[in-house]
C-alpha cells in the first residue's frame, strides 16, 4: 500500500526535515514585541517559499499586524485545512537559557534526542510535521491526496488581533470540511490525543495610579496611599481560601463534567504527582474540591502573569511609587462569557479601589472556551491512525491551554476543528530551554501521513 512508501520516505528524509526545521527556528519571530516585526515577516516568507516549492500556491497576506500565510492546492474531496502558527513567545528571562534561543541545537538527553530552541515545540516544530508529511506524500505520489488549504498565523502568541477579521473577510476561501490544528500535545507525553475541550482566555492589564509622582517613603510613607499595596490587595482578593475565583458571576456557565467524561478521565489515571513533581511542586493549588485533571482541563482559572511597580533594581530605594501594574489572565470553560467576565472583573477592581487611586485597563484578547463534536466519522478514522502509529489507543482529551482558533473555525466558518499535536509536558513551551523531542517530530510527521491516508480513502 502506498502509505508504507510515504512512511519509509519520511524515515529516510528525517535528517533533511530536521535541517529545515532548524532553519525556521533561527528566525526570531516573537510576535508580541515590535522589535521583531521584520523577523515575523521573514518567517512568513520562509514558509511561503517552502509551500510553493511543494506546488502549493501560497502567498503572504498582509494584515494590520503580522502577515497570514495562505496556500491552496486543488485535489479530490475532502477539503482539509491545516492551521499552525509561525510566531513564538518572548525568550526572557534570557539568562536561564543554556544556549541562544534562536541558535537551535540537536541535543542528546537522558530522555532521548531533542531539538532545542524557542518555537521548537510551540509551534514551528509542530506545524512542520504536517508540511513534512505533505512533502513526503508529494514526493512519493506526485501529488497531494486531496484538496488542501494552508493557513498559518503569526500572531497566536500575542492574542491573534488580526485573525477574526481575516477569517470573516476570507470566509469563503477558508471554508473547508475539516480544519486540522497542530498546536497541542500528547496526553502525559506518551498517548496520542485529539483535544475536544479547550479553555477560553481573557487577558487584562491593569494600571493603578495613586500619587501623581513617585514619593519618598520617609516623607510620605504612612499618609500617602501606596498603589502597590492596593494592587496586592486586589490580586489577593481574586481567590478565596478554597481557591475559588471571587469575580462576581464568574462561575455562570461553568458546566459540571458529564458522567461519561468523568468516567473516561478517571480511566486516564492522570499522574498529578509526576506532573507537578516535574516542575518542583507537590500540591494541586486550584479549587480544593476538584481533581487535578479538572483543575487544568475543565475548570476556569485566574492567574497573575506579571506584576511590577516601584524600584526593582539592585540595592534599595525607599520610593513610594506612583503606579502599580499587573497582567492577569482568566482561562474560561463551558459557556462563560469573556466579555461579561471582563466587565465584572473591572467593576470588582474599581469597587476595591480607594478614593485616591485611579485604574486603567488594557484588554489582551477575550475568547470563549470551545468543545468539539466528535460525531463526524473523520474523528474515529484519525483516532485509529494515531493509535496505529503510536501503538497506544489514542484518547479524546481536554486541554488547559486556549486555542481560540478552534472556536473561530466552528463559529465563523462552520468548519469542524480537529486538534492533533505531539508536544510533551516537559517541552518547556513559553519557558527557557524549550525543546521538541525528535520522536515527537518524526512520529508526528508519520502520524499526519497516516491521518491524510485515513481521511482520503
Nearer to a second copy (CB atom), residue 299 or residue 443: 299
Q: For residues 144 and 57, what is the distance between their CA atoms, to the nearest angstrom?
A: 13
CB of 446 to a second copy, least distance (A): 25
Nearer to a second copy (CB atom), residue 222 or residue 377: 222
Q: Are 392 and 439 in contact (CB under 8 A)?
A: no
CB of 323 to a second copy, least distance (A): 9
Nearer to a second copy (CB atom), residue 192 or residue 300: 300
Residue 380 DSSP SS3 = helix
CB of 60 to a second copy, least distance (A): 22
Cell triple for 218: 520617609
Q: For residues 121 and 424, what is the distance between their CA atoms, to the nearest angstrom?
A: 9
Nearer to a second copy (CB atom), residue 71 or residue 404: 404
Nearer to a second copy (CB atom), residue 73 or residue 245: 245
CB of 398 to a second copy, least distance (A): 11
CB of 322 to a second copy, least distance (A): 8
Q: For residues 329 and 46, what is the distance between their CA atoms, to the nearest angstrom?
A: 33
In terms of Cα–Cα distance, which of 99, 103, 36 is closest to 66?
36
CB of 281 to a second copy, least distance (A): 5
CB of 4 to a second copy, least distance (A): 35
Max CA separation in the chain (angstroms): 82
In terms of Cα–Cα distance, which of 264, 101, 119 is closest to 183?
119
Q: For residues 35 and 83, what is the distance between their CA atoms, to the nearest angstrom?
A: 25
Q: What angle do CA 192, 198, 204 make, to 5 degrees?
A: 135
Q: Are 332 and 341 in contact (CB under 8 A)?
A: yes
Nearer to a second copy (CB atom), residue 238 or residue 413: 238
Cell triple for 453: 491516508
Nearer to a second copy (CB atom), residue 42 or residue 225: 225
In terms of Cα–Cα distance, which of 431, 97, 112, 426 is closest to 276?
426
DSSP string, 173-236: HH--SEEEE---B-BTTTB-EEEEEE-EEEEEEEEEE-SSS-EEHHHHBTTB--HHHHHHHHHH
CB of 272 to a second copy, least distance (A): 7
Nearer to a second copy (CB atom), residue 259 or residue 314: 314
CB of 145 to a second copy, least distance (A): 33
Nearer to a second copy (CB atom), residue 48 or residue 247: 247
- 8 Cβ neighbours under 8 A, 6+ residues apart: none
The number of beta carbons lying within 10 Å of the beta carbon of residue 86 is: 28
Amino acid at each position: 500500500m502506498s502509505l508504507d512508501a510515504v512512511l519509509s520516505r519520511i524515515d529516510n528524509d528525517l535528517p533533511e526535515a530536521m535541517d529545515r526545521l532548524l532553519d525556521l527556528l533561527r528566525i526570531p519571530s516573537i510576535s508580541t514585541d515590535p522589535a521583531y516585526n521584520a523577523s515575523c515577516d521573514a518567517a512568513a516568507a520562509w514558509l511561503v517559499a517552502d509551500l510553493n516549492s511543494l506546488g502549493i500556491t501560497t502567498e503572504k497576506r498582509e494584515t494590520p499586524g503580522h502577515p497570514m500565510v495562505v496556500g491552496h492546492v486543488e485535489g479530490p474531496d475532502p477539503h482539509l485545512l491545516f492551521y499552525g502558527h509561525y510566531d513564538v513567545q518572548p525568550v526572557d528571562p534570557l539568562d536561564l537559557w543554556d544556549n541562544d534561543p534562536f541558535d537551535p541545537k540537536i541535543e542528546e538527553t537522558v530522555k532521548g534526542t531533542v531539538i532545542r530552541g524557542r518555537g521548537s515545540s510551540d509551534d514551528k516544530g509542530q506545524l512542520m510535521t504536517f508540511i513534512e508529511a505533505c512533502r513526503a506524500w508529494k514526493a512519493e505520489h506526485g501529488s497531494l491526496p486531496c484538496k488542501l488549504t494552508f493557513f498559518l498565523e503569526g500572531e497566536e502568541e500575542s492574542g491573534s488581533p488580526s485573525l477574526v477579521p481575516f477569517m470573516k473577510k476570507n470566509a469563503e476561501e477558508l471554508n473547508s470540511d475539516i480544519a486540522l490544528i497542530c498546536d497541542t500535545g500528547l496526553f502525559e507525553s506518551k498517548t496520542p490525543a485529539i483535544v475536544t475541550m479547550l479553555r477560553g482566555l481573557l487577558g487584562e492589564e491593569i494600571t493603578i495610579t495613586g500619587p501623581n509622582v513617585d514619593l519618598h517613603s520617609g516623607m510620605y510613607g504612612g499618609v500617602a496611599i501606596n498603589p502597590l499595596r492596593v494592587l496586592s490587595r486586589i490580586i489577593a482578593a481574586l481567590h478565596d481560601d478554597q481557591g475559588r475565583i471571587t469575580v462576581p458571576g464568574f462561575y455562570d456557565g461553568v458546566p459540571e463534567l458529564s458522567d461519561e467524561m468523568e468516567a473516561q478521565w478517571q480511566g486516564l489515571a492522570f499522574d498529578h504527582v509526576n506532573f507537578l513533581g516535574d516542575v518542583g511542586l507537590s500540591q494541586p493549588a486550584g479549587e480544593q474540591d476538584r481533581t487535578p485533571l479538572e483543575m487544568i482541563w475543565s475548570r476556569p482559572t485566574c492567574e497573575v502573569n506579571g506584576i511590577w511597580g516601584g524600584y526593582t533594581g539592585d540595592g534599595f530605594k525607599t520610593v513610594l511609587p506612583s503606579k502599580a501594574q499587573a497582567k492577569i489572565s482568566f482561562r474560561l470553560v463551558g459557556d462563560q462569557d469573556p466579555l461579561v467576565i471582563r466587565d465584572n472583573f473591572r467593576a470588582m477592581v474599581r469597587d476595591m479601589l480607594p478614593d485616591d487611586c485611579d485604574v486603567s485597563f488594557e484588554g489582551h484578547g477575550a475568547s470563549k472556551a470551545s468543545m468539539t463534536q466528535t460525531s463526524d466519522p473523520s474523528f474515529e478514522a484519525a483516532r485509529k491512525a494515531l493509535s496505529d502509529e503510536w501503538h497506544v489507543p489514542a484518547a479524546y482529551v481536554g486541554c488547559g491551554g486556549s486555542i481560540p482558533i478552534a472556536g473561530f473555525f466552528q463559529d465563523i466558518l462552520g468548519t469542524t476543528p480537529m486538534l492533533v499535536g505531539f508536544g510533551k509536558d516537559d517541552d518547556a513551551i513559553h519557558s527557557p530551554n524549550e525543546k521538541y523531542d525528535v520522536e515527537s517530530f518524526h512520529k508526528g510527521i508519520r502520524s499526519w501521513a497516516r491521518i491524510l491516508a485515513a481521511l482520503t480513502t
